[in-house]
Amino acid sequence: IQVGRRRMRSHAVLLDAEESGAAMAGYAQKHPNAARRIMSVVGVDTDGTAASYREIGRNRIPFVRFEIV
């Protein structure tokens, strides 16, 4: 991955359903406008609640975590 000018070797780890749900809900809380736009782009309906975003992360949009190697 690259952050700014810094490049790091990494690998992606697929999060389980609960971790993905928590990640999506947390992202939506911190970035509500971006989360709504992302849902629109990928064609997923949400009512904007944390529970709705958590369900989307659990069942519709998998998340990955990058680990530096």
66 forms bridges with which residues in the sheet?
Answer: 12
pLDDT per 10-residue tile (average), the chain, 69 residues: 95 97 97 96 95 97 95
Question: What pLDDT score was predicted for residue 55?
Answer: 97
Element (H, E) at 2: strand 2-3
Q: Write out the DSSP string of 4-62.
A: TTEE--EEEEE--HHHHHHHHHHHHHH-HHHHHHHHHHHT----S-HHHHHHHHHHT--
Question: What pLDDT score was predicted for residue 47?
Answer: 95
Question: What pLDDT score was predicted for residue 32?
Answer: 96
Question: What pLDDT score was predicted for residue 9?
Answer: 96
Question: What pLDDT score was predicted for residue 30?
Answer: 98
Output the pTM of the full model. Answer: 0.84
Question: What pLDDT score was predicted for residue 60?
Answer: 95
